[in-house]
């Protein structure tokens, strides 16, 4: 999984969007910090809520589309519908404002938001709730370098891939994984637009703005 594709830094403001989890969020990064961010927990309604949220954070940050340097969007894994909604919004903004659009995966967004004190000297397992028995998981070393590929496994099989040594478990699916001896569970940990904007501004964990589903969509035939 890409983690640090470039060391470049973006000087102009970055707009971050995410709807891959059980929330809708938007944030503006500017001058080395998050200037404004909003997050609305929701299971449905992202299509109606995301663009008003974008306009709200732009107004709160005192900036507009013309001043942005790029748009960064959460590409999942997570909710199929939410991922598509956020990608469509990001691509629409990018096209209308002539801005580059980059993607950031949910694992990297959660890992980047975890305080360093909580993961110091520990490997990290980010677990994203898939709403199924098999969870989405990604291991990182203590320097937040990915260890292998993303996984789609049930909790016991996910923990069987655990690297040696102390471990911290984070993500919106962390509560679904039993904490083994020598491990800790971090609080919170859902993907958020603020972390996505910060990563994109630093040129870290960026990828093509395409969905990262990790499993086939559920289809109900008539």
How would DSSP label each residue in 86-102? Answer: HHHHHHHHHHHHT--EE
Residue with tokens 């569970």: 185
Provide mean pLDDT across the span 2-19. Answer: 69
- Residue 99 shares a structural domain with residue 53: yes
Q: Give the span between the Cα atoms of 171 and 117, in whole angstroms.
A: 16
Tens-place pLDDT, residues 23-60 = 999 999 999 999 999 999 998 899 999 999 999 999 99
User: Cβ neighbours of residue 46 under 8 Å, at least 6 residues apart?
Assistant: 19, 24, 81, 82, 85, 86
Number of domains the chain contains? 2
pTM: 0.91
Confidence check: pLDDT of 113 > 80: yes
Residues spanned by the domain of 33: 14-106+190-207
- Residue 19 shares a structural domain with residue 98: yes
- Residue 33 shares a structural domain with residue 102: yes
With contact defined as beta carbons under 8 Å apart, do 61 and 36 qualify? yes
What is the chain's mean pLDDT, rounded?
Answer: 92
- Residue 127 shares a structural domain with residue 90: no
pLDDT of residue 218: 56
- Residue 31 shares a structural domain with residue 58: yes
**Residue 179 resides in a domain:** yes
Provide mean pLDDT across the span 127-133. Answer: 94
With contact defined as beta carbons under 8 Å apart, do 192 and 113 qualify? yes
Sign (positive or negative) of CA dihedral 190, 194, 199, 203: positive
- Residue 99 shares a structural domain with residue 131: no
- Residue 102 shares a structural domain with residue 134: no
User: Cβ neighbours of residue 163 under 8 Å, at least 6 residues apart?
Assistant: 123, 139, 141, 147
Q: Give the span between the Cα atoms of 19 and 34, in whole angstroms.
A: 18
Which among 108, 18, 96 has a CA at the least distance from the CA of 54? 18
Question: Percent of the chain at pLDDT above 90?
Answer: 87
- Residue 181 shares a structural domain with residue 194: no
Which among 118, 67, 53, 83 has a CA at the least distance from the CA of 210? 83
Q: Give the span between the Cα atoms of 84 and 211, in whole angstroms.
A: 7
């Amino acid at each position: 999984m890409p983690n640090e594709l470039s060391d470049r830094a973006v000087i102009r403001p970055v707009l971050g969007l995410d709807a891959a989890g059980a929330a809708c969020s938007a944030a503006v990064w500017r001058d080395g910090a998050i200037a404004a961010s909003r997050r609305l927990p929701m299971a449905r309604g992202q299509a109606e809520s995301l663009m008003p949220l974008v306009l709200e954070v732009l107004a709160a940050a005192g900036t507009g589309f013309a001043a942005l340097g790029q748009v960064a969007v959460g590409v999942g894994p997570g909710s199929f519908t939410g991922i598509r909604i956020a990608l469509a919004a990001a691509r629409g903004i990018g096209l209308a404002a002539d801005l580059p659009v980059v993607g950031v995966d949910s694992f990297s967004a959660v890992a980047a938001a975890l305080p360093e004190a909580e993961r110091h000297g520990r490997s990290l397992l980010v677990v994203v709730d898939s709403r199924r028995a098999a969870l989405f998981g990604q291991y990182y070393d203590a320097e937040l370098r990915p260890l292998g590929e993303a996984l789609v496994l049930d909790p016991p099989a996910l923990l069987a891939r655990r690297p040696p040594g102390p471990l911290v478990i984070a993500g919106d699916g962390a509560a679904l994984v039993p904490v083994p001896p020598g491990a800790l569970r971090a609080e919170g940990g859902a993907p958020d637009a603020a972390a996505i904007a910060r990563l994109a501004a630093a040129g870290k964990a960026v990828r093509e703005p395409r969905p990262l589903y990790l499993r086939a969509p559920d289809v109900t035939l008539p």
